[in-house]
Structure 1
């Protein structure tokens, strides 16, 4: 008879095939002989049997060519090789053969712990640690790791497990001795507290009364947490607001300029909430926040994109637009900066542009009441202008957009040509029309009257 845990995992595996956006990355870290390898193996086998495609990045320490395990270069080598595998298996968009679940047998968090340990052992200077930390704690890389399982055990238990059933008296390793193990445990717990805002950390204490000498209970506990992580990633909670609030902010207008848009942002901050996307899409009384970015080259031409949607029935599929953007997800945070962070993330995902938030200029907002789909979304419009023609050349290359999010192809067009295309009916998408009319051109009278005026 199937357990509830198995039924849940199999259901999630099926959903992942249909709606999974990116691999779930689980890192296993911690002190030696805390049960990491055993638990990791159990989780891998369980998820695989339940229908997930699972890949494991094995611990690199066993193949590291640097002999001195206490030398900082040993940990730097293992970190960089693991990082390369993390980046390879979490590309955007995912490759057809990418795993559903990627398991790291020691990853970024674990490396940060060991390198900090090197400072305590006077094997690494603090100045060098700060430089390495800045590298390893890049926000984009940390966000790839969905959860970290920090396996800990007392030095006494670790040594007992190391000795096994045929102990050798007097034998002690460079790491497996009480003094070093005690330092490793303290460092690991300290780092878990220090980095709890940067990683989703789960402490698994296999010396605790509940888990000590109970590998099955440990595996079940970790499996339940892992399934929680997978379920949350599948759910895709998006920011929405009651329609009456957004209608009040816009009054009877379609577009609001920068100052008036501050009211819209305040509404989303005060009344917005994150709910499962599938529920929000069905509720006609909710409006979703959609930050969009207009990309311009140094001379002011605008990047025009042809959209590629997952469903051919989506009204935006193969439509010409002048923006890139998407839903504000819970991963963007819950503070007032969530909408701005979403805009930065969407530009990265859609166009592979890494830009600073302060380089985005708020132009205004658009809310069109006509149309069932359009009335469920409010656009927060930003502009980003390239400093060099090099960026413009890359963005104009059609190959650049191959398999990049929802952008199928792109090219820069002048404002005059864009006005002509809109007036001639070549650009039908309503937000693009309104953005050009209200925020780009100086004379809106150049356009025909709106159909919904």
Structure 2
């Protein structure tokens, strides 16, 4: 029943957003959602599950390749690497702003991933507090954050994250990121940013996938996404 109610809601939303299945000129941009969070919390999987759901519901969906798969990683180039991944996502979002082909764009890491990474680098001493604040202020400019309707932070307990990693790995040893210390530091960075910027904001969603099946996490995120879409449609009707 829950699945059917979501499918009906998706149909209702698209009929309001694009009743003739031809994007209206008055709509400035598609819906945009960022999924970010700790490693192995389910970001990439949930993005694909949402894409499948919305496409089956008649939506035109764009899912940009994650910046981490485009930008070659090098530990010697931190924090430059995360400057590049954040800018890649922002550049893609800007390209999609006036693209009438799509109703929905799903990002695997964008604005708030960059914000969290800068917090992480400050704590590690890679950046000074002033440098971190400068980059964060840029990322959170209305020109950037205003492109997104929702930022979903998916987190997972570090111990469970390592178990999920090793369950699909041929090499049973820790990596540069997938190790207890780094995972704990990243989790703490997400908590700090959420405490400062996320709690109480309608455009932010925190979800812990530690003890959930993928389908349970997907439905929870889908519910948050639907609610964000409804808020935007309601706000546009008041104008």
- Residue 105 of structure 2 is matched in structure 1 by 102
Once residues 85 and 58 of structure 2 are traced to their aligned partners in structure 1, the CA distance between those partners, rounded to angstroms, is: 30
Task: Assess, with a 3 A threshold, how the Cα gap between structure 1 residues 95 and 162 changes in structure 2: closer, same or farther.
Answer: closer
- Residue 17 of structure 2 is matched in structure 1 by 16
Relative contact order: is structure 1 or structure 2 higher (C-alpha 8 Å, sep ≥ 6)? 2
- Residue 40 of structure 1 is matched in structure 2 by 47
- Residue 92 of structure 2 is matched in structure 1 by 85
SS at match of 1:204: strand
Give the Å deviation of 1:61: 1.0
When normalised by structure 2's length, the TM-score is 0.89
- Residue 154 of structure 2 is matched in structure 1 by 151
Gaps of 5+ in 1: 238-275, 278-326, 328-453
Give the Å deviation of 1:126: 2.1
Give the Å deviation of 1:80: 1.0
- Residue 178 of structure 2 is matched in structure 1 by 176
2:239 equivalent to 1:236: no
Task: Assess, with a 3 A threshold, how the Cα gap between structure 1 residues 165 and 85 changes in structure 2: closer, same or farther.
Answer: closer
Give the Å deviation of 1:26: 0.6
Once residues 115 and 76 of structure 2 are traced to their aligned partners in structure 1, the CA distance between those partners, rounded to angstroms, is: 15
Once residues 40 and 96 of structure 1 are traced to their aligned partners in structure 2, the CA distance between those partners, rounded to angstroms, is: 21
Alignment of 1:270-419 (within 5 A): 276-277=237-238, 327=239
2:187 equivalent to 1:188: no
Give the Å deviation of 1:9: 0.6
Once residues 51 and 143 of structure 1 are traced to their aligned partners in structure 2, the CA distance between those partners, rounded to angstroms, is: 26
Once residues 188 and 77 of structure 2 are traced to their aligned partners in structure 1, the CA distance between those partners, rounded to angstroms, is: 17
8 Å CA contact 1:56–1:103 kept in 2: the answer is: yes
2:38 equivalent to 1:31: yes
SS at match of 2:207: strand
Alignment of 1:69-84 (within 5 A): 71-84=78-91
Once residues 82 and 154 of structure 1 are traced to their aligned partners in structure 2, the CA distance between those partners, rounded to angstroms, is: 26
Once residues 153 and 168 of structure 1 are traced to their aligned partners in structure 2, the CA distance between those partners, rounded to angstroms, is: 21
Task: Assess, with a 3 A threshold, how the Cα gap between structure 1 residues 9 and 151 changes in structure 2: closer, same or farther.
Answer: same
8 Å CA contact 1:152–1:185 kept in 2: the answer is: yes
When normalised by structure 1's length, the TM-score is 0.48
Q: Which stretches of structure 1, 4 residues or more, deviate above 6 A after TM superposition?
A: none
Aligned length: 231
- Residue 219 of structure 1 is matched in structure 2 by 218
8 Å CA contact 2:150–2:228 kept in 1: the answer is: yes
Summarize deviations over 1:376-424 as a string: whole Å, max 9, x none.
xxxxxxxxxxxxxxxxxxxxxxxxxxxxxxxxxxxxxxxxxxxxxxxxx
8 Å CA contact 2:30–2:100 kept in 1: the answer is: no
SS at match of 2:126: coil
Once residues 166 and 81 of structure 1 are traced to their aligned partners in structure 2, the CA distance between those partners, rounded to angstroms, is: 28
2:171 equivalent to 1:164: no
